Structures are given as structure tokens and as C-alpha cells.
Amino acid sequence: MQLQHDELVMQPLDDAAVETQVAIQTAEGVACPFCGTVNEPTAMFCQSCGKPLRMGACPNCGSEVDPEADFCEICHHYIKNDVCSFCGAPLSGSEAYCSECGSPRGGIVCPVCRTLNDFAFCKQCGTALTENARQLVEEMKQRPDFQELARLAKEYENLQLQLPYTSERDVVRDQQNRQLRERVLMLLAHDRGEDKEIMPKESTRPSKDELNRQKEDHLEQLTRLLDAMALPAMPSPIKARNYAMAQKPIGVRLAWVCNFKHAMHSSPCGCAKPQMGGKWVVLGKNTKQEIKDDK
């Protein structure tokens, strides 16, 4: 009988007993919804995994949001009343304009594309909308890595506009056009009484394979440089957004991949926690990757 009693004692608890035990532990603390660790009743973040123990609610649509988020990714609204969305200065919650940067609480309409924005850069076209944002862009232009990034982006844009040779007929037509040019210039010089040599113009038009190779080479260089310029974590989500937007080159289709959810956004303006860092990535022509905040 003693052996049977010991065997009963050694048997694992059934589901009901486990649930009861967890309920007792939870009553004494806060169970982490991510890893299950029971934390102190007043704790805001899990002592094991560091994630928030309690989620907040968007004041605009009621969706569940991270307690450290300042932007709702469901309704696409800025949700902090006590921090200026343009410069990060503290607000009392009642003033119509930020006392630090002078930006209106209701947002700024982009003068280029007419989009209403909550942040210092236009989420649609990337235009700097505040004086601080314009200064940040000028500072970024002085950096050697950004200068190289802008050069590669411009060259890639030019490559996108080039028409390659696609057949032997294209080669013949190009030769005929260059010969015609030389003939016209020679006749014009003769009419003006000039005696000068007409220098032939070499064709810079590449073949289709050569053009694709040049594009791929530029994309690889752009990708490496964007990886090297990835935004690290920083305390302020406002400063993180502004820095990342000032870093964006023109001439290339880009998306922002955040470190918060590793989601792809059209820009850091659509991320709830850009302060966790992230990076710009080049989008392919026929990419099937979903951009989270496109509407």
C-alpha cells in the first residue's frame, strides 16, 4: 500500500491542477503573455524576456497597441498627446502649436503632394516639412556615406531610363543615326565656311544583358551601403523617424524594414516603434512583398 501511495504522489498534476496552480501564482503577480513568467504585481515589463506585460489601447480606434508605441498601425494615427510628433518636445496636451518647433498639432500639409502629415517628413513623397527637418537633410548631405548613396541612386535612376539594344536592327539604326548626325554637322560647318573635323560620337547604348548587369551591380552596392547605414536603437521615436527619413535617397524604390515587428513599411512614418531601429531596403521591380502600411 505504501508503494501505491508513493506512485500516486509521483504522478504529474492533471490539467485542472496545473490551471489552479497557475491561477494562484498569477493572483500573486502578473504572468507574461509572451513567455509565461510570473512577475511582480506592479511590474510593467517581464523580468525574463523584457516584453511589456500590459498592452495599451489606441485612443482613436481602440485597437490594442504596445505601451511604448506612439503610432497606431491599425488606424494610422499618432496617439501621443504629450509629445510633439514633429520634434519630440514635451506638450501639455492643450496647446495648438508646439512651443519648441512651432508645428501645428493638427498636422502639416505637404506643399508638394498635398498629403496631410503628423511627422516632420512627408510620408508620401519624403519632403522635409519643418525647419529642423530641412537642417537635418543638409547635415546628412555632408556625410560621405550619404554622398555615395545619393550617387549610386542617381546612377541607378539613369540606368532605369536607358533603352538597350534588343536586336541587330537596333544596332544598325543607331549606326545610321550617328552617321546622319555627322553628315548634318559637316554640311552646317560647310555653310558657315568652317573647316573643322567632325568628331564621331561613340554610342553609349548598352545591350540588354549589359544594362541588366549594370543595374544588378548598382543594386548590390546600394544594398550593402543601406545595410551599413542601418538605424540603431535610440530613445526617441520622433528623432528616429526624422533621422531615417533624412537618410532616404531619391531615385530608388525603397521600403523601411523595422526592428519592432520586422515588418515592411513604406517609411518609418508607418511604424509604431521606430526607436527600435531598422533599415531601408531596395524594392525589386516586381516585388511581391507586402508593405504593411500601404492603403
Q: For 209-238, what is each residue's pLDDT tens digit?
A: 899 999 999 999 999 999 999 999 999 999
Looking at residues 69-84, what average pLDDT do you find? 94
pLDDT of 163 higher than 70: yes
How far is it, in rounded angstroms, from Cα 78 to Cα 76? 7
pLDDT of 128 higher than 90: yes
Residue 210, Cβ neighbours under 10 Å: how many? 12
How far is it, in rounded angstroms, from Cα 103 to Cα 238? 14
Whether 242 and 122 have beta carbons less than 8 Å apart is answered as no
All cell numbers assigned to 280? 531601408
Residue 25: pLDDT band with limits 50, 70, 90: very low
Whether 229 and 247 have beta carbons less than 8 Å apart is answered as yes
Residue 18: pLDDT band with limits 50, 70, 90: very low
Model pLDDT, residue 58 = 92
Distance set, CA 12 to CA 3, 7, 37, 64 (Å): 16, 10, 20, 37
Model confidence, pTM: 0.72
* Amino acid at site 291: I
Domain boundaries, the chain: 15-54
88: left (phi over 0), alpha (psi -120 to 50) or beta: left
Please name every residue paired with 254 in a beta bridge, in sequence order, or none if there are none. 282
